[in-house]
Amino acid sequence: MNHGKNCQDGKQRWAIALHGGAGTIPRDSSEARKQQHIVALTEALTIGRDILAQGGTSLDAVEQVVRYLEDCPLFNAGRGAVFNREGVNELDAAIMDGRDLSAGAVAAVRYVKNPISLCRRIMEDGEHVLMAGRGAEAYARNSELELMDDAYFHTEYRYNQWQRELEIPTAAVNRGTVGAVAMDVRGNLASATSTGGLANKMPGRVGDSPVIGCGTFADNTTCAISCTGNGEEFIRKTVASRIALQMELKAQSLDDAMKDVVMNRLSRDSGGVIGVDAQGNAVLHYNSAGMNRGAADSTGRFQVAIWEW
Ligand code: ASP
């Protein structure tokens, strides 16, 4: 098989990056707690790496990585999602296919165990892109996706965090969205993002993650992007598509475009971005204290970190 530009030195190229949110555990957390995060990020990255190294699609890689992170209670997505002001877990997610710009997204849904797989169903069905609330939940039920009751999403850690937030509301939001971007051996890009949003958010509040071009974007001609951080800021500045447009219109590299947007256009401590370009460069930047993240590619790169690499 001829993989064209994706074949270097006879080796098929692929790349993946993931994040587990820009809101990290405190630096002075116990070694055991830090290790839990590193182990989970490593496990997630291994899932994505194995799919891509075996010739799987970028869509499968990002969906499976995000499903793993949704199931892991350490991160603010799926099980482990933050509580809103009424003590409910409302979930947002999106997936996008860089081949044809098809996309599926859900906003403010409850009960859906893996919102990212619901997004994929919506994308593949093709009639709509973004579905919200009860309609999206009915869609999941009709698609025979797994539904869980509220207790499944309730974790002690997030509940206590919400209780503290009720007592002393902080501007410093509790962030922890998960996301993945990938390029497969055919050169196709894909992006997936899933979140419980911001802790103590108003019921019905929707962040950037399910808004195509803001928290999630993929286009084979430029890059795949997934964001984490203060969603209102990322929506106003259309962060994901801005990075792609700077590459397209200013001929900037992914690294230059992402650095410019994250460091110069976003307000300080607002979050971070991961991306992969059509040449298989995995790039990660953040302007927050840290970002749970990882990157791997066909050259042997395999890195996970919360703070410095
Ligand atoms: N971006 C997400 C939101 O605003 C939150 C996060 O990344 O933690 O909903």
Q: Does some domain include residue 188? A: yes
Q: Does some domain include residue 166? A: yes
The range of the structural domain enclosing residue 125 comes to 13-288
177 is catalytic: yes
Taking the centre of ligand 1 as the mean of its atom positions, its distance from the CA of residue 105, in whole angstroms, is: 15
Residue among 177, 193, 195, 228 flagged as catalytic: 177
Q: Does some domain include residue 3? A: no
In the prediction, which pLDDT does 192 show?
Answer: 99
Taking the centre of ligand 1 as the mean of its atom positions, its distance from the CA of residue 214, in whole angstroms, is: 11
Q: Which residues line ligand 1 (CB under 6 A)?
A: 21, 23, 76, 92, 175-177, 195, 197-198, 207-209, 215, 228-231, 271
CATH for 131: 3.60.20.30
Taking the centre of ligand 1 as the mean of its atom positions, its distance from the CA of residue 185, in whole angstroms, is: 30
For ligand 1, what atom is nearest to the CA of residue 228? 7
Q: Does some domain include residue 69? A: yes
Overall domain count for the chain: 1
* pLDDT tens-place values along the chain, 309 residues long: 444 456 666 678 999 999 999 977 888 989 999 999 999 999 999 999 999 999 999 999 999 999 999 999 999 999 999 999 999 999 999 999 999 999 999 999 999 999 999 999 999 999 999 999 999 999 999 999 999 999 999 888 888 888 888 877 664 456 679 999 999 999 999 999 999 999 999 999 999 999 999 999 999 999 999 999 999 999 999 999 999 999 999 999 999 999 999 999 999 999 999 999 999 999 999 999 999 999 999 999 999 999 999
For ligand 1, what atom is nearest to the CA of residue 201? 9
At a CB cut-off of 8 Å and minimum separation 6, what does 181 contact?
16, 17, 18, 62, 189, 190, 191, 192, 218, 223, 224, 225, 226, 274, 275, 276, 282
Q: Does some domain include residue 6? A: no
Protein residue closest via CA to atom 4 of ligand 1: 231
Predicted TM-score of the model (pTM): 0.95
Find the Cα–Cα–Cα–Cα dihedral 75, 76, 80, 86, rounded to 10°.
Answer: 160
Q: Does some domain include residue 304? A: no
Q: Does some domain include residue 294? A: no
Q: Does some domain include residue 86? A: yes
